[in-house]
Amino acid sequence: MNMEKKTVMITGATSGIGEACARKFAQGGYNLILTGRNSERLNAVKAAAEALGAEVLVLQFDVRHREEAESAVASLTGKWSNIDVLVNNAGLALGLEKEYEGDMDDWETMIDTNIKGLLTMTRLIVPGMVARDHGHVINIGSVAGDAAYAGGNVYCATKSAVKTITDGLRIDVAESNVRVTNIKPGLVETNFSVVRFHGDKDHADNVYKGIKPLCGDDIADVVFYAASAPEHVQIAEVLVLATHQANGSFIYRKPQ
């Protein structure tokens, strides 16, 4: 008996955790809807996922732009309109300045992406899940949402908002069979720090010196585990840290 494949939508799928999730869900037998801003990278991830046996649809748009997101979701037809899992992964950090010296444009980008973009995708996708009485929203939060760390101020605030928004959604859908999960990674070596330091690769590399950090695949494993749990099991929240990271602000680094 052939079971119909489930469909996962992954935002920010062009690199890092999003790209790793695309590979993991492709290996797990899902069809994929991949979203992101960079069409070249989207198509590269699409080709890799298709090589693993997945059917893949790409949607190029920026989650910060609500009209683009609305248009992209409205274009989904047939099997692509029935999304089983939404991975709200699109997000970023910019800068490490003191709050009173921060770049206001950076603040707006983080807030618009990490909070408003996540809310937009949730608003567009979850009503269908509730109507079908089936679905799973997995938000990629951060250990930064648990407590502020030096230089993290606004970024930490956005990830604290992700936790609260996730908890609130879980309350709102509790009468349905829709599940809601917050995955909170610690130090993960992706292009995250390169983006944070506006392309300064040397500065970004220093973040990972003296410790073996997590990688995108480590987080994708946890995301897929949450999605694969039995229907009556809701993995509400998972904090994932590198072995030598105790929390958002304390990391033991081996002498170089």
Task: Tell me the H-state helices in 147-235.
Answer: 153-172, 192-196, 201-206, 216-228
What is d(CA 136, CA 223) in angstroms, rounded to the nearest whole number? Answer: 11
Residue 30 C-alpha from the chain's centroid: 17
Identify whether 100 is a catalytic site residue: no
Out of 30, 100, 149, 155, the active site residue is 155
**H-run or E-run covering 74:** helix 66-74
What is d(CA 194, CA 174) in angstroms, rounded to the nearest whole number? Answer: 39
CB 144 within 8 A of CB 156: yes
Nearest to 91 by CA among 191, 206, 222, 205: 191
Residue 203 C-alpha from the chain's centroid: 24
Handedness of CA 38, 92, 165, 173 (dihedral sign): positive
CB 11 within 8 A of CB 117: yes
Query: Tokens 């910019």 identify what position?
Result: 94
Task: Give burial (CB, 10 Å; 0-12/13-18/19+) of 22.
Answer: buried
What is d(CA 136, CA 42) in angstroms, rounded to the nearest whole number? Answer: 23
Tell me which residues are annotated as active site.
155
